[in-house]
Structures are given as structure tokens and as C-alpha cells.
Chains A and B, each alone.
Chain A
Amino acid sequence: MTNDEGMADLRHETAEMRAMIRVVLPHHLRSLARVDGEVTLEVLGPATQRSVLDALEARYPMLRGTIRDHVTRTRRPFLRFFACEQDLSHEDPDAPLPDPVAMGEEPYLIVGAMAGG
């Protein structure tokens, strides 16, 4: 294998591990991040809740600490993560996201828990 062939393989592999993930933020976090509508994030490597949230915080650093604790990286109690009509809030953050989310067909939703009467 020549060096050129090796580089081509690497490029191919990297391209395969890239996903474009659609994320829907709650109103107040859209205001904080100064975005309208949903955001699209490029995620390198497997698309998991952790990798998506890491990418989100990298793009919008003002969101750090508002979704997950700065130190423990645990979800804030009154937030929920939904996708494909499932509540993923209590799933392993390193588990793969459902295929429609990883393929960019369905969004990953960050939702403020209901409060009030």
C-alpha cells in the first residue's frame, strides 16, 4: 500500500465516522446561544448523547453548565433528552443514538421538564 492509498483509506474512514446531527433546544437555551430553530452539528466518531452534547457545547460555549453539570457532566434534573418518541434521559450517555438521529432524519430534543399546575 502506498502512502497515498493509506491517506485515502483514512479519509474514507473519517468521513464514515462523521454524522450531521439535528438538535432542538428549548426556547431559553436558543436565546442564550442566539440561534433560531434547530441547530445542526457535525459529530466526529460514534453519535452518542455524550458526543452530541460535547459538540453542542463546543459550538456554543455559553451552554456549558446549563444542560450538564460542569464537573460531573450529569444532566441537570429538570431537563430531558428525547428522540424518536423515546425518553433517552436515563440511557447510557455512550450508547449509540437511534439510527434516524445518527442519519440526521430525526432531531435530538433537549426539553425543559414540565413544571406548574
Chain B
Amino acid sequence: MSRIRLLVGTRKGAFVLTSDGTRKQWEVSGPHFGGWEMYHLKASPADPNRLYASQTSSWFGQVIQRSDDGGKTWTPPGTKPEDLMGPDGTPKGESNMFVYDSSAETGKPLTTHQWYDGTQRPWEFKRVWHLEPSPTDPDTVYAGVEDAAIFKSMDGGRTWKELAGLREAKGSLWQPGAGGMCLHTILLDRNHPGRIFVAISAAGVFRSDDGGKTWRPANQGLKSQYELPDPDAEVGHCVHRIAMHPSRPNVLFMQKHWDVMRSDDAGESWHEISGNLPTDFGFPIDVHAHEPNTVYVIPIKSDSEHYPPDGKLRVYRSRSGGNEWEALTNGLPQRECYVNVLRDAMAVDSLDPCGLYFGTTGGQVYASADAGDHWTPIVRDLPAVLSVEAQTLP
């Protein structure tokens, strides 16, 4: 019987939640890395026991952790005895070394971006927000970081190299949003090798068709009249999350700061699908595992309030690819609920019926084993949840 493993990152550690395919009884392990901010954990689709995790701290900076046994044990890549020595005899320990590419070989200077006061400021690494393992190679993994950039490792996370062409996509005009200038979404298109989409707050969506060497903005149709002096600027849009169904990679869904959007041409153009949502502000967006036209969002009242409208925690589902949305409330708190759900904190499994999961800033992780019709809390009192990923295991 299939099993589900949820990888939950929180402000104070990581938790692994497991269940059989009924998704009724859950075992909770953790906290792993207690006290550290665990921005994201994700498994390799090519090897379900290979997990990557981003561990960060204001005091100690970035650490990358890797598990090769499904989360039982973890090691920073490249720190096992056989990994230690570099050519000069010194330990390498480079798995947390994210250095922007300003090498002579690539000719990429360390560029600058806009700062709040209008001046230009050089890129400065803060943390890894998102890890995206390759669908085919367990040792290849991408990292989305703050200040916004994408890094790639081809040795299981031991070393990282920036795909610096992204910063040439009008990077001097990018500017941090309230949460920092972070690259938080990486979508790898399995059907078009070399095609990568990334999303950055507050710069927008960017697309590469050559494996990350060159990039171009993919924001046509986005309108940000409350955030930008030019509402339909080429870059500068505060994109919160994008999602894709693997069987239909040219269709993208987006939760923007305000507005839920859709593209039917791989990001060439976008149109709004907010329809009858009570508010079109929010963070996560995801697609049903078996129905490419079924989309989920969690509306949040506004950018200053960051809690659900009317104190009611509601997931909204559209079965028509947008515009027509229904509230899913069964099992979710419908009074006095003022939590938020962050951009990386919703996930789907691939069982039938499709399972859906999300975590809140109040520490609850909710699960639905029937595509959102009914919900149950798996845990209620974790630290604030930053990310949720679901693995469907044989």
C-alpha cells in the first residue's frame, strides 16, 4: 500500500509526518534541527530517499542538509570523511557556500539591484528559500536564494554554482519586497528539457529555455497598479507563487501579491482568473495531481493584514482552471482564525483521490484525503510553518 511522507519546514525546526495511504493516522517525527529556521525540504523525484533541506539562522547563516535514507539521518553534503580534502589538502565544506558568480571565465560582474532608497546595491547572499531537485538525477538540485538568484549543484549539494544569466534579465531594476528579494519558486519542465521558470519577489517570473544560461522576463499581462508606478512594467511584479501540472507544462497558474493569474502559453502572456474569490491576495497556489484544470488557493484578506477574511480559514478550489471558485471549509476553523499560509506551505500527493496539505503560521498542518472536500488537522501546535512538501511512496 502506498505511503505518504510530508516534509514540514518551520521557524524552529523540521518535522516529518508519515501515514499509510488512508491518510487517517499520522506519525510525527521531529523536531529535526531544532531551533533553526527550516525554509524548505524537498525529496528527489528520482530517488525518494534522497532529501535536501535548507537550514538557516540569523546567527550562523546557511547550512544545507542532505538525507540519503528518507530523513532518518542527515549530513551537510561533503562533510563525510571521504569528502573532506580538497586538492590542497584542506577540508572543503562548501555545501553552504553560495557565492555569486563574478568569475573571469563567465565574465559576469557582481551586479547591483535597486534598494529602498533608490540607490543601487550589490547582491548579497542571505539564505536559501527553495530547493528543487531534478526530476531525473538525484545529485542535481537547484536552489532559489535571497538576494534573488538561482544556484545549481550537480554533486548532491556539495558545491553550488550560480546561473548568473538570470541577473542580466533587468536585475538592476529589481527591488526587495517586504519579505526580502527572494527567489522562491523553481519549476522544471520535464517535457521541454532546459526550460526552467523561476519566480522572484518583487521582480516577477523569468523563463530560461537553455538550462538556465539565459533568461527573459515572463510578466506580460500582469498589472500591479498599487505596487508599481508603471502597472504593466516588464519586471517588478510581486509574484508570490507559480504552479504547473506536469502533464500540461504550458499552462501556469500564479498567485500574485494581488490577483490570481493564468498563462496558457508558457508565460508569454498572463490573464486574470480571480473571478469570485472573496479576496485575490494570498501566497500559495497548487494544482490537483490528476486534474490539470483544478486549482487551489487560500485567500488572505490583504497585504497588511495577512489573515483570512472574516476569521474563516477557507481553501478555494476551481475545477474550471480559474474564475469560478468554491470555498472548501469542512473541518477548517470558521471563526476567530487569524493565521497565514505562506507561499511554500501547500502541497498535493499523487494518490487517488488526490491528497492536499497546508501548514499555517499558527503551527497547524491540515490534510485532506479527498481533494479538499474534508479536512483534518494532523498537528496543531508546531512552530510557524514555512513549507510543506508531500511525497507519495510505494
Contacts and interface: CB of A to CB of B under 8 A. Distances in A.
A66 B91 contact: no
B93 to A, nearest CB: 3
A113 B59 contact: yes
B23 to A, nearest CB: 32
A63 B97 CA distance: 11
B96 A64 contact: yes
A79 B57 CA distance: 12
Interface string A13-52: 0000000000000111101100000000000000000000
Contact of A58 (B36, B59, B60, B90): B90
Given A61-B93, A64-B93, A66-B61, 10 more contacts: A32-B63, A32-B76, A57-B93, A64-B97, A65-B96, A70-B99, A76-B60, A76-B61, A79-B60, A115-B58
A113 B57 CA distance: 12
A62 interface: yes
Interface of A: 26-29, 31-32, 57-58, 61-67, 70-71, 76, 78-79, 112-113, 115
Given A28-B35, A57-B93, A70-B97, A62 B76 contact: yes
Nearest to B76: A62
A26 B60 CA distance: 10
Contacts of B59: 26, 28, 76, 78-79, 112-113, 115
A62 B93 CA distance: 6
The secondary structure that dominates the B interface is loop
Contacts of B33: 31
Given A58-B90, A70-B97, A28 B79 contact: no
Interface of B: 33, 35-36, 57-63, 76, 78-79, 84, 90-94, 96-97, 99
B91 A61 contact: yes
B36 A28 contact: yes
Contacts of A115: 58-59
A65 B58 contact: no
Contacts of B57: 28
Which of B60, B62, B99 has its CB near the most chain A CB atoms (within 10 A)?
Answer: B60
A59 B94 CA distance: 14
Contacts of B92: 61
Contacts of B96: 64-66, 70
A113 B58 CA distance: 10
B83 to A, nearest CB: 8
A62 B63 contact: yes
Given A66-B60, A66-B63, A79-B59, A57 B91 contact: yes
Given A58-B91, A62-B76, A71 B99 contact: yes
A70 B64 CA distance: 14
